[in-house]
């Protein structure tokens, strides 16, 4: 079953666990204390972009202060009205005072390049067209290449009083320190498990919410993505491959193609999850917290043939690969190397 698609209104307001962050932003807005640059960070799938969209909507709305509320009916003051001309332009993505800068969809590197920053400054300009403020969203900000980051830094050093720059990032440490230091940080975290499971209930039907939540590392919005585009099926296929390579019954080079496409970063994350579960079970076979709850028994069997120290070293390799997988490097060769390394974790003696 596919998850229930969010309504347009739901997609433009934060989920309930971000209500404290929303209230803080609302108070800052009411007091005129919003910064000129805001860095919103946190894991994927916790609602960062919903929060940013709600803030942009409220700042550009002609009559903010709606009580439309958060998901599941909890009240939230300060949301956009959803009915004015500005809200209509925002909803259709055509508001002249809300600009999003991201990677070139036709480029393989996934980087935000200097051309995008130059275009923002020179063609779009940082002066509002309709109201008193312009909102510029850089997403994902950690994909800025060096030249683009330097170009953005000049804007941050001489900010326009009518412009709010919002940087969104899952990996803020990859941003230059000079950029981070010129932004006010808003670090967001996943909700507690009870709140997340309550929110997922009714959205995943017969699927097991707790399993999906663990696979998504506690991020409820991300958990829903496992029910689309055959991700759960691909997760199962790659686990069979992982198990076979580690057990020595599948050839790592042959298996690599299935890992390198269509979502190589997700493949890296799943590999990291299974290896981290192996490490936990090697140390404590009764460990209760696993990323992949449904794979305890096969992972426990695999863990008995893995030495702890080499597995720790291998885990670092996987993390390094995950950080580089969206670059222009050859994905096939990357996964060949990773799976050959996985096969070598298997003990050949006592």
Question: pLDDT band at 229, cuts 50/70/90?
Answer: confident
Question: pLDDT band at 227, cuts 50/70/90?
Answer: confident
Q: What share of the chain is helix, strand, coil (3-state, %, to 5)?
A: 50, 10, 40
Does one domain contain both 30 and 156? Answer: yes
pLDDT digits (tens, 9 = 90+) for 10-22: 788 899 999 999 9
Q: Mean pLDDT throughout 216-220?
A: 94
**E-only strand ranges, 141-274:** 163-169, 184-187
Does one domain contain both 30 and 175? Answer: yes
Rounded Cα distance between 27 and 59, Å, is 13
Question: pLDDT band at 329, cuts 50/70/90?
Answer: confident
Does one domain contain both 339 and 249? Answer: yes
Alpha-carbon distance values, 144 to 100, 122, 136, 171 (Å): 13, 18, 14, 12
pLDDT of residue 283: 93
CB 234 within 8 A of CB 260: no
Residue 333 lies in a domain: yes
CB 276 within 8 A of CB 315: yes
Residue 83 lies in a domain: yes
Residue 69 has pLDDT above 50, yes or no: no
Last residue of a domain, one of 172, 189, 206: 189
**Is the model more confident about 197 or about 328?**
197
Alpha-carbon distance values, 57 to 90, 113, 269 (Å): 7, 27, 33
- 2-16, 134-148, 251-265: segment of lowest average pLDDT: 2-16
Residue 221 lies in a domain: no
Q: Mean pLDDT throughout 266-275?
A: 96
pLDDT of residue 313: 96
Residue 309 lies in a domain: yes
Does one domain contain both 184 and 235? Answer: no
Rounded Cα distance between 300 and 270, Å, is 17
| pTM given for the model | 0.85
- 53-62, 75-84, 87-96, 250-259: segment of lowest average pLDDT: 75-84
Does one domain contain both 154 and 302? Answer: no
Q: Mean pLDDT throughout 205-234?
A: 88
Q: Mean pLDDT throughout 64-86?
A: 67
Does one domain contain both 76 and 128? Answer: yes
Rounded Cα distance between 52 and 15, Å, is 12
Does one domain contain both 67 and 175? Answer: yes
Q: Mean pLDDT throughout 258-267?
A: 91
Residue 348 lies in a domain: no
The CATH number given to whatever domain includes residue 330 is: 1.20.272.10
Does one domain contain both 169 and 245? Answer: no
Residue 4 lies in a domain: no
pLDDT digits (tens, 9 = 90+) for 109-126: 789 999 999 988 886 667
Share of the chain above pLDDT 70, in %: 92
Does one domain contain both 236 and 184? Answer: no
Across the chain, what does the average pLDDT equal?
89
Residue 301 lies in a domain: yes
pLDDT of residue 72: 42
Does one domain contain both 240 and 328? Answer: yes
Question: pLDDT band at 76, cuts 50/70/90?
Answer: low
SS3 255: helix
Does one domain contain both 167 and 233? Answer: no
pLDDT of residue 262: 85
* Tokens encoding 14: 């934060």
Residue 78 has pLDDT above 90, yes or no: no
Does one domain contain both 19 and 133? Answer: yes
Residues 51, 55, 57: CA angle, nearest 5 degrees: 115
CB 49 within 8 A of CB 107: no
- Counting the structural domains of the chain, the total is 2
Q: Mean pLDDT throughout 253-269?
A: 93
pLDDT of residue 7: 57
Last residue of a domain, one of 189, 212, 238: 189
Share of the chain above pLDDT 90, in %: 70
pLDDT digits (tens, 9 = 90+) for 51-60: 999 999 999 9
Last residue of a domain, one of 189, 208, 240: 189
* Tokens encoding 21: 């962050």
Domain range for residue 261? Answer: 229-343
Residue 68 has pLDDT above 80, yes or no: no
Q: Mean pLDDT throughout 94-115?
A: 89
The CATH number given to whatever domain includes residue 63 is: 3.40.50.300
Question: pLDDT band at 74, cuts 50/70/90?
Answer: very low
**Is the model more confident about 158 or about 173?**
173
* Tokens encoding 154: 């000049």
Place of tokens 């698609």: 5
């Amino acid at each position: 079953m596919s998850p229930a698609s969010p309504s347009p209104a739901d997609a433009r307001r934060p989920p309930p666990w971000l209500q404290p962050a929303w209230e803080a932003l609302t108070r800052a807005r009411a007091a005129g204390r919003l910064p000129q640059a805001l860095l919103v960070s946190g894991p994927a799938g916790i609602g960062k972009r919903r929060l940013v969209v709600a803030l942009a909507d409220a700042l550009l709305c002609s009559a903010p202060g709606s009580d439309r509320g958060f998901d599941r009916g909890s009240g939230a003051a300060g949301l956009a009205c959803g009915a004015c001309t500005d809200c209509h332009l925002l909803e259709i993505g055509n508001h002249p005072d809300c600009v999003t800068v991201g990677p070139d969809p036709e480029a393989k590197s996934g980087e935000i390049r200097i051309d995008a920053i130059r275009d923002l400054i020179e063609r779009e300009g940082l002066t509002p067209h309709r109201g008193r403020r312009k909102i510029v969203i850089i997403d994902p900000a950690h994909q800025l290449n060096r030249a683009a980051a330097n170009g953005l830094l000049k804007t941050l050093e001489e900010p326009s009083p009518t412009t709010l720059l919002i940087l969104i990032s899952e990996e803020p440490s990859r941003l230059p320190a000079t950029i981070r230091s010129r932004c006010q940080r808003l670090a967001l975290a996943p909700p507690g498990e009870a709140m997340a499971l309550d929110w997922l209930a009714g959205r995943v039907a017969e699927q097991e919410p707790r399993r999906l939540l663990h696979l998504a590392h506690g991020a409820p919005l991300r958990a829903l993505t496992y029910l689309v585009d055959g991700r759960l099926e691909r997760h199962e296929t790659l686990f069979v491959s992982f198990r076979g390579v580690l057990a020595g019954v599948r050839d790592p080079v042959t298996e690599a193609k299935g890992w390198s496409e269509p979502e190589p970063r997700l493949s890296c994350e799943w590999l990291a999850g299974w290896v981290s579960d192996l490490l936990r079970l090697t140390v404590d076979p009764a460990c209760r917290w696993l990323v992949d709850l449904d794979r305890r028994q096969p992972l426990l069997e695999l863990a008995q043939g893995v030495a702890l120290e080499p597995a720790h070293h291998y885990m670092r390799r996987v993390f390094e690969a995950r950080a580089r997988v969206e670059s222009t490097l050859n994905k096939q060769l990357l996964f060949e190397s990773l799976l050959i390394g996985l096969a070598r974790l298997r003990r050949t003696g006592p």
